[in-house]
Structure 1
Amino acid sequence: MHFLPDDIDEYSDNHTEKEGELLYELDRKTHLNVLQPRMLSGHFQGRLLSLLSHIQQPEKILEIGTYTGYSAICLAEGLREGGKLITIDINYELEDMVKEYIERSGNKGKIEMIVGDAMEIIPGLKETFDMVFIDADKSNYINYYNLVLPMIRPGGLIIADNVLWSGKVTDPHKNKDLDTQVLVEFNKLLQEDDRVQNVLLPVRDGLMVARKK
């Protein structure tokens, strides 16, 4: 969902670094062949993730929610030499597609895909991360946050997608479902958590960006 007028949204998109041909192809293939293509980060958000990664120059990134691999490839663009991105998704049906595009992007040695339940996998990761991108089941956003915050170095970033949830987080008549209620609580938690510095960006469906102090 876009919250800006269509002409402003299009203007912003046209004045943002272009995605590469492979990412364009992956975007098209996702929209043509995969259910719920709006889950894809897409051009504008993907370039923002790439920019943040380049600024951070991370050695270790954790992504919770791979989908078709678009965001993982964008985030990997900023990895420092020898860096690694771990991406977790429970949907094994997309595994072959994701691995194909990871290999074609030249990131086969940089991106490790793990298929399974992130709530079970994350506690077993013995890593310190520079960046974490959360874009999975909304009902577990607070659980994911509490799991990963101790695993992030001071100065590291947590980025969470869909935190505006099509505007439902601001409408008391539309926030009765579990996902919306959790996102309202998640946004409130980060706003009040003095362990992080946070800003909610109204990009696409809302990106929460938090820096661990």
Structure 2
Amino acid sequence: MLEINKELEDYILSHTEKEDQLLTNLSRETHVKMLRPRMLSGHLQGKFLKMICQMLQAKRVLEIGTYTGYAAISMAMGTEESCKIHTIDCNDELEQFTRKFIKRAGFEKKIHFHIGKALEIIPKIEETFDLIFIDADKRQYIDYFEAVYPKLRQGGFIVADDVLWDGKVLKDIDSNDKQTQGILAFNDFIQKEERVENVLLPIRHGLMMIRKK
């Protein structure tokens, strides 16, 4: 496995389409004003998600774990005006900040921002999705998968973030580390799941791409 150090990361980003200025501003403000700014999707992952939306010509997208909206806005940039993106976050303290950037991007009608528990909100959304992005509580990844699977079209994709979890998946873990346990359980679950095909990509903290057969 190729180790991505800072110099190599800079090279990768210098050969990736330039970050949109609004997203640069969003990233900067997130790092200045928010706790745990590393939760931000960021430039490389944002471009990847945008291109996935473009390749799928996605009309309906679901995101679990909005944070400050970087991924949602990136995906909105890769979809047609008629696309509907539902994004869910349980932290109502982020709402004002996130809605501000959604409005600045001009996506108030395209991005439908839900505040609350994803497992309670998902059953209420009457849509069939082309793409689902999961980036929330790692302890509930399997539950999220089971909740969204019936709402994903055949041939549609789920992208799950943080599946390498800073390399913790290869280390002895503390019995109290429920987040890492959740990731390990999810990765094993998907590998054995016969209803899908999957590939784990070493992008940022690890992305599991899952296609519904």
TM-score, length of structure 1 as denominator length: 0.95
Deviation at 1:3, TM superposition (A): 4.9
Q: What secondary structure, in the 3-state scheme, does the structure 2 residue paired with 1:82 have? A: coil
Question: What are the residue-to-residue correspondences of 1:119-198 with 2, within 5 Å?
Answer: 119-171=119-171, 173-174=172-173, 176=175, 177-198=177-198
Query: In the alignment, is the contact (CA less than 8 A) between 2:198 and 2:209 conserved in 1?
Result: yes
Q: What secondary structure, in the 3-state scheme, does the structure 2 residue paired with 1:4 have? A: coil
Q: What secondary structure, in the 3-state scheme, does the structure 2 residue paired with 1:30 have? A: helix
Tell me, in whole angstroms, the C-alpha distance in 2 between the residues paired with 1:3 and 1:61: 32
Deviates more, 1:7-16 or 1:107-116: 7-16
Query: In the alignment, is the contact (CA less than 8 A) between 1:175 and 1:181 conserved in 2?
Result: no
Deviation at 1:122, TM superposition (A): 0.8
Tell me, in whole angstroms, the C-alpha distance in 1 between the residues paired with 2:80 and 2:60: 9
- Which stretches in structure 1 are left out of the alignment for 5+ residues? none
The equivalent of 1:68 in structure 2 is 68
Tell me, in whole angstroms, the C-alpha distance in 2 between the residues paired with 1:86 and 1:197: 24
Q: What is the RMSD computed on CA atoms of the aligned residues?
A: 1.3
Deviation at 1:123, TM superposition (A): 1.5
How many residue pairs end up in the alignment? Answer: 211
Question: What are the residue-to-residue correspondences of 1:1-213 with 2, within 5 Å?
Answer: 3-171=3-171, 173-174=172-173, 176=175, 177-213=177-213
Tell me, in whole angstroms, the C-alpha distance in 2 between the residues paired with 1:139 and 1:3: 27
Deviation at 1:143, TM superposition (A): 0.2
Tell me, in whole angstroms, the C-alpha distance in 2 between the residues paired with 1:194 and 1:52: 23
Per the alignment, do residues 209 and 175 of structure 1 end up closer, same or farther by CA in structure 2, a change over 3 Å counting? Answer: farther
Q: What secondary structure, in the 3-state scheme, does the structure 2 residue paired with 1:17 have? A: coil
One-letter code aligned to 2:18: K
Segments of 4+ in structure 1 off by > 3 A?
A: none
Q: What secondary structure, in the 3-state scheme, does the structure 2 residue paired with 1:13 have? A: helix
Tell me, in whole angstroms, the C-alpha distance in 2 between the residues paired with 1:155 and 1:42: 27
Greater relative contact order: 1 or 2 (C-alpha under 8 angstroms, separation 6 or more)?
1
Aligned-pair identity (%): 49
Deviation at 1:80, TM superposition (A): 3.0
Tell me, in whole angstroms, the C-alpha distance in 2 between the residues paired with 1:181 and 1:3: 24
Deviation at 1:76, TM superposition (A): 1.2
Deviation at 1:6, TM superposition (A): 2.2
Query: In the alignment, is the contact (CA less than 8 A) between 2:81 and 2:110 conserved in 1?
Result: no
Q: Deviations over 1:169-208 (max 9, x none)?
A: 111x226311111111111111111211211111111111
